[in-house]
Amino acid sequence: MIPFNDSPKWIFWKYLIHICLGLILIYAAYSVKKKAQNTPSINARSVQYLPEPLIEKDTLTNPDIIIDSKESKPNADTSNPLSQEIFNTYETPPEFPGGNDRIAIFMKKNIQYPKEAIKSNIGGRVTISFTIKANGKITNIQLLRGIGYGCDEEALRLVKLMPKWKPGTINNVPREWHYNLPIIFNSRDIK
């Protein structure tokens, strides 16, 4: 090691550097404290809860098709005064018979991958929209987004084959729900 000779000149610079670093540290701490004081606090009354759709993903063990589901708000029925009430929470979303994990099993069992899609090596996402009535019946089946080559028709056919669902409830009352079901067709592993 090289020994340092502590001359009075070296000691002066050493103390000056330490004092400058200390002042910078104090200034930084003060500015953070001042910024925290200027930030408005958030309390429970100022926060407005906006319900977001629940998103659940289900995947198949078979790579031919992957399913994920997205629920959205219940449809408003203007003839019923209870339906005009604004709900902040969803007690129970609609459920496929046997649980939402069974959707993937149902799709795997009933899927017939379109021949045109196999021939053209087409895959992608088809989004189907439908309404689950308060009695669990599926109605208003619509194609939101398709890829063609027979995949759209197959997705519509699968949704039409579905049994009655367990309806979603709000305040323990079965309600009509709008449901979007994206179905991903994957042609890589089709034989």
Confirm whether pTM is higher than 0.85: no
Q: Domain 55-185 falls in which CATH fold?
A: 3.30.1150
Separation between Cα atoms, residue 180 and residue 107, nearest integer Å? 15
Query: Which pLDDT tens digit goes with each residue over 24-75?
Result: 888 887 776 665 555 544 444 444 444 444 444 443 444 445 555 555 555 5
- Please give the C-alpha separations between residue 188 and each of 18, 119, 124, 145, 185, in angstroms, as whole numbers: 65, 12, 11, 21, 9
Helices marked H in 39-170 — which ranges?
102-110, 115-120, 151-161
